[in-house]
Structures are given as C-alpha cells and as structure tokens.
C-alpha cells in the first residue's frame, strides 16, 4: 500500500534503497571471499538476505498504489490481509530479530563453550537453525492476517477478542525475550573474553607461534564480538520505541497514527533494515578486508595492466 504520510514515504523509500544496496553488498562480499565462509558469516549472510527482502518490502509497500475500492472475492481479501496489512514486511522484520538471537548464541557457544561448539554447530544443524528462524518469524507474524478484512472494498482492521493477549505475546516474543536473552549472553561473553585477555596478557616480542596464534584468535573474537554488540545496540535503539507504544496501544493508549511519535517510531524500525551493512563496513575487520580484496585488487590490477602496456610512439 502506498504510504499516505509523505514523511514516512520519503524515509521508507530512502531506507529501502539503501537497505537493498547495502545488504546485497554484504552477501556479495561474503560469497566472493573464501576466508569469510564461516558459520558466523553464514548467519550474518542470512541476516543480510532477510534485511534485503525487508528493505524491498519497505520500498514496494511505500510506493505501490492499491486499487480503490478493492476487488471483491478472494483476490481482494488476500490483497487486504497479506499486502495492505504489511504482513510480509513485519514477517521479515521478525525473522531478522530471531536470526539476531541465533547469531548471538552462535558467538556465545563459540567463545564460552569452544569444545562443544563444533558438535553443536555442524553444517546440518546450522541449516536447521536457519530454517527454524524463517519458520518462527513467519509463524509468529500470522496474527496480522486475522486482524484485517476486506469490507465492501475497504481494508479494515478488526477488533478481535483477545487482542490484548496477542499484543502482550508479540511484545514478549518479538522484543522483550530476545533482548533479555541477547543481553545476558553478551554479559557472559564479556566476562569470558576478559578472563581470556588476562590469561594471554601483554604480548612481548619473540613470543612462540602458539602464543601468537592464541593472541590473534582472541583479537579476532573480540572484533567480531564488538561488531555484533553494536548491531544489537542499534537494534534496541531502533525497535524499543515502536515496541513500547504498540504494547501500550493494545491496552487503550490513544496512539495517533499521523502523529510525530508514531512516525519517528516507524522511521527508526525502517532504519534498522539498512544499518547493519554500515556497521560491518566501519567495525567488522574481516568484512573490510574482503571488501578491499574484491574492489581494490581489481583497481590495482587495472592500474598495473595500464603500466605494463606497451607505449606506441606516433
């Protein structure tokens, strides 16, 4: 449905375009860089695919006109329940939240339980986890389908008994529980990394190969940890306002859907779809290295080719 609020339409269009480009770039860099073919980056790629599709829905939903009145029959009902209700957009946003939980706990087990990690995160189990992520995201968003109906050519939101209970469940499952779980995991990871840093200590010159490898692994883990922590903080910042006002709305809060509070909350949620690629480009060392290898190497090869090309004197 074309966004009726002009400010939101502009924001969603810009964010949608940035999200499509940025998340496609993340997928491309991971795919082309063999060193990034790891379990962690598999979850990061899954996150990028989800946010790419969410950004596409954001762009299309804000700029696609809807026929007025809606057609009668099944086509009009599906258009109302699936498209006008923004079912796909919110489903992708929910999948993104759940994948962030799985991504966090992948790092949690890799750092806190390194000896159990290879068994827990085998290739087949990772595929199952990603499948569960998508199923949970879409399954927990199905409530949206039942809250809308095509009534005489107009898509109307319905007052359904138990809506408050559904609102509480959505707030818990899609926001509060994931945030608390991720926060606890990061606290424990921080403690474990601090202990590891204390054991390694300052690295003198002439250290053995084993010591150097241990220090290098610790630095890599800390860099990945810091990057994903920023991703989590960004998620909390972008989602908290919208989640709280939606929770309050279910208990009678007079939310003005054309007011500044609602516009800001939706804009923040939209921005989260394009934020992660920027974070990777600034903070994730492995992603930056992959980016340089793909683009700077090509540029260098072209320059070297020009330098070695024979010069014809006329």
pLDDT digits (tens, 9 = 90+) for 80-134: 888 888 899 989 999 999 999 999 999 999 989 989 999 999 999 999 999 999 9
Task: Give the ranges where the chain is alpha helix by DSSP (H).
Answer: 6-32, 39-63, 74-78, 87-112, 117-120, 123-139, 143-146, 163-171, 177-200, 209-249, 260-283, 285-291, 297-308
Across the chain, what does the average pLDDT equal?
84
CB 78, CB 96: distance < 8 Å? no
Longest dimension (CA), the chain: 87
What pLDDT digit, counting tens, does each position of 288-300 carry?
999 888 887 655 4
Residue 147, CB-side half-sphere exposure with 13 Å CA sphere: 16
Predicted TM-score (pTM) of this structure: 0.85
Helical axes 39-63 vs 87-112, angle rounded to 10° = 160
């Amino acid at each position: 449905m074309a966004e009726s609020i002009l400010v939101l339409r502009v924001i969603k269009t810009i964010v949608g375009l940035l999200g499509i480009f940025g998340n496609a770039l993340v997928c491309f860099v991971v795919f082309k860089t063999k060193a990034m073919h790891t379990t962690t980056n598999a979850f990061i790629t899954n996150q990028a695919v989800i946010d790419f599709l969410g950004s596409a829905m954001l762009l299309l939903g804000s700029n696609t006109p809807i026929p007025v009145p809606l057609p009668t029959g099944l086509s009009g009902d599906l258009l109302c329940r699936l498209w006008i209700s923004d079912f796909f957009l919110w489903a992708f946003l929910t999948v993104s939240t759940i994948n962030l939980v799985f991504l966090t706990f992948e790092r949690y087990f890799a750092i806190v339980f390194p000896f159990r990690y290879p068994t827990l995160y085998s290739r087949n189990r990772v595929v199952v986890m990603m499948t569960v992520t998508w199923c949970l995201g879409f399954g927990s968003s199905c409530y949206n389908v039942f809250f809308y109906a095509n009534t005489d050519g107009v898509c109307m939101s319905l007052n359904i008994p138990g809506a408050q209970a559904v609102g509480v469940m959505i707030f818990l499952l899609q926001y509060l529980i994931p945030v608390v779980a991720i926060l606890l995991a990061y606290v424990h990871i921080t403690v474990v990394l601090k202990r590891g840093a204390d054991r390694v200590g300052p690295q003198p010159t002439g250290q053995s190969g084993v010591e150097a490898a241990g220090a290098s692994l610790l630095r890599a883990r800390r860099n990945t940890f810091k990057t994903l922590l920023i991703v989590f903080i960004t998620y909390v910042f972008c989602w908290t306002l919208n989640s709280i006002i939606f929770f309050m709305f279910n208990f009678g809060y007079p939310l003005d859907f054309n007011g500044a509070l609602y516009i800001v909350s939706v804009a923040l949620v939209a921005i989260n779809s394009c934020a992660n690629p920027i974070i990777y480009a600034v903070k994730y060392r492995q992603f930056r290295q992959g980016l340089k290898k793909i683009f700077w190497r090509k540029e260098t090869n072209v320059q070297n080719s020009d330098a070695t090309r024979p010069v014809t004197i006329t």
